[in-house]
């Protein structure tokens, strides 16, 4: 084992391999900053270049790009309120309000430093458990996955604050939208309104880009000012160095949310979008100042940052152990395994264990180098938030259009983005929570899929499986705690709505 760890590091530190890793880091940084592309798309585009590479070189190239994509996706989320990826949406809720107050550098440093802790934590877990996780994951079946999806949905209680009724309505709307498309059981179209585009369902990326980014860009356009008010931040950026120290005052939260990321990431089918909201909901429930969430809470932003790469490291475990990808990116990466001539399972856990450990080293080295690059660019990037909104709006609109269109290269996605932006504005105007809608949209297909599989395979007996009963208790506990917590706090504005609420309200009153 020790020999394999050392061999994996030695192969990774060869000059040619390091050069390919640097290229992957730069590509991943650019892809992550551009909304909508995502790690899966980047891996698919660059996969042909790995045909002539050795296994460690190819994996270092692909993995470094994917890991840095996740980290750099938080940059646009924090600075411009536009998620670089769907898995970066949680960083918008507290990072963008800080930027509005002229604390863009501090917020960026916080999310990057907490991401660094998540990187190290995830890579260590990957290295420790990749050889022993197979029996554990094989014990989990469709009934347990169904209950895990319900656990994620149960966090809607805490994310809706003191208005669980509004949260439930948004969940119902999100579930309704998630079931648009072809029924996976009977093969008939649902809610398609005669449009062929809707047969494939509503894509997640244009919804996220519109719901969070579109509404904020509209708010910026109407306010006719810069993102960061000059009176609050001035032209001089500050707070980067101070922001680096803040996450370590919440070190236990970073560890917990990193563990949530790894745990959710290793479960096939759930994905990073689910992990970020579970971690964010947990941070809010355990916070001493939950009323600050959605307005610039340090612990909310730290949780969003720490869970990012940790869930990516977790998703590598089932992919390596027995060839089951946890999401789109690991599914494409699995194709890279085959191109490089390595097979998941016994070969990667025994015969080529050094190659497997080189992946854990790649996560650490590439992730940390990507964060250093982001910190070096923090000041010029955050300085963009001082530019007048009239100048920034066209650029941000272009980002929105590119992000929505590149999800599937379909013009219909632009209309979905515009509709989501309209919904975001409505939510901002009347203080309705957006996160429950997004969470239901993500979990709806999973709930349906695993419920059908549970009934088909186990009948009604799946209800009495030990794992199902344990997770049912967890669901009840989360819901009960969330209701009790909301009543106790009596929050006046608990739902994590966007930072443009006050401006849009004012404009609405003027009308």
pLDDT tens for 46-87 read 776 777 788 888 888 888 888 888 777 778 788 777 776 666
The average pLDDT across 263-290 equals 76
pLDDT at 482 over 70: no
Rg of the chain on CA atoms, in Å: 22
15 CB-near residues (< 8 Å, 6+ apart): none
Q: What is the pLDDT of residue 64?
A: 87
Q: What is the pLDDT of residue 502?
A: 40
Rounded to 5 degrees, φ, ψ at 406 are -75, -5
Of 508 and 392, which is predicted with more confidence?
392
Q: What is the pLDDT of residue 291?
A: 78
pLDDT at 487 over 70: no
pLDDT at 312 over 60: yes
Q: What is the pLDDT of residue 269?
A: 55
Given a contact cutoff of 8 angstroms between Cβ atoms, the answer to whether 277 and 212 are in contact is no
Q: What is the pLDDT of residue 186?
A: 75
Mean residue pLDDT of the chain comes to 75
Read off the pLDDT band of 265 (50, 70, 90).
confident
Least confident of 32-46, 277-291, 293-307, 403-417: 32-46
Residue with tokens 């030695």: 10
Of 184 and 61, which is predicted with more confidence?
61
Domains in the chain: how many in total? 1
Of 171 and 36, which is predicted with more confidence?
171
- 264 CA to centre of own chain: 12
What pTM did the predictor assign? 0.64
- Provide the residue range defining the domain that includes 278: 2-510
* Four-CA torsion 477, 111, 254, 90, nearest 10 degrees: 10
Of 145 and 498, which is predicted with more confidence?
145
Read off the pLDDT band of 495 (50, 70, 90).
very low
Least confident of 252-256, 322-326, 503-507: 503-507
Per the DSSP assignment, residues forming a β-bridge with 189 are 182
Q: What is the pLDDT of residue 35?
A: 61
* Range with top average pLDDT, 61-70, 121-130, 484-493: 61-70
Read off the pLDDT band of 233 (50, 70, 90).
very low
DSSP output for 63-87: HHHHHHHHHHHHHHHHHHS--SSGG
Q: What is the pLDDT of residue 200?
A: 79
Of 139 and 268, which is predicted with more confidence?
139
Query: What is the crossing angle of helices 435-458 and 142-154, to 10°?
Result: 160
**What whole-number distance in Å separates Cα of residue 394 and Cα of residue 417?**
16
The average pLDDT across 451-470 equals 86
Q: What is the pLDDT of residue 130?
A: 66
Note the pLDDT tens digit of each residue in 107-119. 888 888 888 888 8
Tell me, letter by letter, the H, E, C secondary structure of 423-440: HHHHHHHHCCCCHHHHHH
**What whole-number distance in Å separates Cα of residue 276 and Cα of residue 124?**
20
Read off the pLDDT band of 161 (50, 70, 90).
low
Q: What is the pLDDT of residue 84?
A: 66
Least confident of 334-343, 479-488, 492-501: 492-501
**What whole-number distance in Å separates Cα of residue 88 and Cα of residue 149?**
19
Residue with tokens 């980047």: 42
């Amino acid at each position: 084992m020790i020999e394999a760890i050392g061999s994996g590091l030695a192969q990774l530190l060869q000059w040619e391999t390091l050069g390919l890793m640097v290229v992957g880091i730069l590509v991943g940084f650019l892809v992550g900053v551009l909304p909508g592309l995502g790690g899966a798309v980047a891996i698919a585009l660059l996969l042909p270049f790995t045909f002539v590479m050795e296994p460690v070189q190819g994996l270092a190239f692909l993995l470094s790009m994917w890991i840095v994509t996740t980290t750099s996706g938080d940059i646009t989320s924090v600075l411009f309120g536009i998620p670089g990826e769907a898995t970066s949406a949680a960083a918008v809720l507290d990072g963008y309000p800080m930027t509005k107050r002229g604390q863009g550098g501090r917020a960026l440093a916080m999310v990057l430093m907490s991401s660094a802790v998540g990187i190290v934590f995830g890579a260590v877990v990957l290295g420790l458990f990749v050889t022993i996780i197979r029996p554990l994951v094989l014990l989990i079946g469709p009934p347990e996955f169904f209950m895990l999806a319900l656990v994620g949905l149960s966090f809607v209680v805490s994310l809706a604050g003191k208005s669980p009724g509004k949260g439930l309505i948004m969940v119902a709307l999100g579930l309704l939208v998630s079931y648009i498309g072809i029924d996976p059981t009977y093969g008939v179209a649902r809610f398609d309104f005669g449009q062929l585009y809707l047969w494939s369902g509503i894509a997640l990326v244009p919804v996220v880009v519109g719901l969070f980014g579109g509404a904020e860009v509209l708010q910026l356009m109407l306010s006719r000012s810069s993102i960061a008010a000059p009176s609050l931040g001035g032209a001089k950026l500050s707070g980067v160095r101070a922001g680096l120290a803040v996450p370590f005052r919440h070190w236990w939260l970073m560890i917990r949310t990193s563990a949530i990321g790894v745990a959710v990431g290793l479960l096939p089918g759930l994905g990073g979008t689910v992990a970020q909201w579970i971690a964010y909901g947990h941070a809010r429930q355990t916070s001493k100042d939950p009323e600050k969430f959605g307005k610039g809470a340090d612990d909310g932003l730290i949780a969003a940052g720490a869970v990012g790469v940790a869930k990516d490291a977790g998703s590598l475990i089932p992919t390596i152990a027995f060839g089951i990808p946890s999401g789109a990116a690991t599914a494409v990466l699995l194709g890279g395994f085959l191109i490089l001539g390595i097979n998941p399972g016994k070969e990667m856990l025994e015969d080529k264990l050094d190659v497997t450990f080189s992946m854990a080293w790649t996560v650490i080295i590439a992730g940390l180098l990507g964060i250093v690059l982001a910190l070096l660019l923090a000041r010029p990037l955050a300085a963009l938030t001082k530019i007048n909104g009239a100048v920034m709006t066209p650029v941000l609109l272009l980002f929105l259009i590119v992000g929505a269109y590149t999800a599937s290269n379909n013009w219909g996605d632009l209309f979905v983005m515009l509709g989501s932006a309209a919904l975001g504005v409505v939510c901002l105007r009347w203080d309705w929570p957006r996160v429950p809608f997004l969470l239901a949209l993500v979990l709806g297909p999973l709930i349906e899929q695993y419920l059908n599989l549970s009934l088909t395979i186990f009948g009604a007996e799946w209800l009495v499986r030990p794992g199902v009963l344990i997770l049912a208790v967890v669901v009840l506990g989360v819901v009960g705690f969330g209701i009790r917590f909301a009543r106790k706090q009596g929050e006046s504005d608990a739902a994590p709505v966007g930072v443009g609420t006050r401006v849009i309200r004012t404009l609405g009153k003027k009308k």
